[in-house]
Structure 1
Amino acid sequence: MLVDHSALDDPNLIFKCEGGGFTRLDKIFNGQLQRVLETFNEFIWKDGEANAA
């Protein structure tokens, strides 16, 4: 599963139900949540590629 802006705002997922969605979580991350998500996903996919090889 990719964690991105739309996943954080999906009302059926815990990010929105418990975390308040992207806007609230972005405030917690001092406006850097998008960058955190990009880095997080970059490392997940990089690791996945290494494991597939």
Structure 2
Amino acid sequence: MGAGRSGHPLHNPLPATRTVPRAELRVLPDCGYRAAIERQAAWESVVLAFLTRPGA
């Protein structure tokens, strides 16, 4: 999720992170809904870390 644009309230995804087992929320600064495009390297790093963590 990006935090750099107005209209992206962080309280919107919080219920899912509290109810989905093993869910995680990562906020990438200075981007919007297209985090995978706007901050590709950071997004890939977060996704790869999530997918390769122990027990994933």
Report the TM-score range of the alignment, normalised by the length of the smaller protein. Answer: 0.3 to 0.5
Query: Which structure has the larger Rg?
Result: 1
TM-score (norm 1): 0.33
**RCO greater where, 1 or 2, for CA within 8 Å and sep 6 or more?**
2
TM-score by length of 2: 0.32
